Amino acid sequence: MADVDQLLGLQVASMLEELGIETPVIKKNLSEKTETKTHMIKDNMHDLLDVLGMDVEDDSIKDTPKRLAKMYVGELFWGLDYQYFPKCTVVDNKMQAKEMVVRQNVPVKSMCEHHFMPIAGNATVAYLPDKKLIGLSKMDRIVDFFSRRPQVQERLTEQIAAALKFILGTEDVAVVIKAQHFCVSHRGVGSPDSTTVTSRLHGKFFTVSELRAEFLNLSK
């Protein structure tokens, strides 16, 4: 786990709640210890497999409930816990940078909150420097943090953009996400080649047509 900043995370969480774009959660359940969550999920997964008719005593399956529990708590959904919010180093813009800073092809690895199936794709994230500059890897870590929870892509896009605005102290932020949803490709309509594109453009990225066009071209 990279360096974290729980205080910043709690400030971001409060801001998202005020904006109405925080992930729906039950806070008292979030505060449960990791071991308790893992144990409870393991028991429930054992029951699920049993109901499906799987032989949970088979040597290939008997540890599956534990594997799933550890994966959900420690790998896929750790972004629900703001104690793991990434430390976001910012520095004064002493070089007076003015042109947009863009991160392309940032991995998005999330899970659909409707069917608990993967969302896989990439994000393009940009900002116009004002008084602060942020470490490039921190932009990726913000994307990863909000991806590591049950999500809908529209909210994920909003959360990333809002967090960057808050941390950088600027309105001039833009986010585009292009992703495949396995709940669409592997079930339901069964559309394996379709992708979903969402965007959130703030400040000059929204109001200045030339800048908007340049960013959207870079995000293709």
Per annotation, catalytic residue among 46, 88, 153, 202: 153
Residue 114: active-site member: yes
Per annotation, catalytic residue among 115, 171, 186, 214: 115
Residue 181: active-site member: yes
Per annotation, catalytic residue among 11, 39, 171, 183: 183
Task: Give dist(CA 179, CA 109) in Å, integer.
Answer: 9
User: Residue 79, by phi and psi: left (phi above 0), alpha (psi -120 to 50) or beta?
Assistant: alpha
Per annotation, catalytic residue among 46, 88, 159, 181: 181
Residue 112: active-site member: yes
Per annotation, catalytic residue among 22, 113, 171, 214: 113
Residue 115: active-site member: yes
Per annotation, catalytic residue among 6, 17, 104, 114: 114
Tokens representing 138 are: 């921190």
Task: Give dist(CA 158, CA 187) in Å, integer.
Answer: 26
Per annotation, catalytic residue among 112, 154, 171, 186: 112
Q: Under a CB-based contact definition with an 8 Å cutoff, are residues 15 and 166 in contact?
A: yes
Distance (Å) of CA 137 to CA 46, 86, 123, 172: 39, 10, 13, 19
In the block, tokens 């940009």 appear at: 126
Residue 183: active-site member: yes
Q: How many residues does the chain have?
A: 220
Task: Give dist(CA 36, CA 30) in Å, integer.
Answer: 11
Residue 88: active-site member: no
| Catalytic residue ranges | 112-115, 153, 181, 183
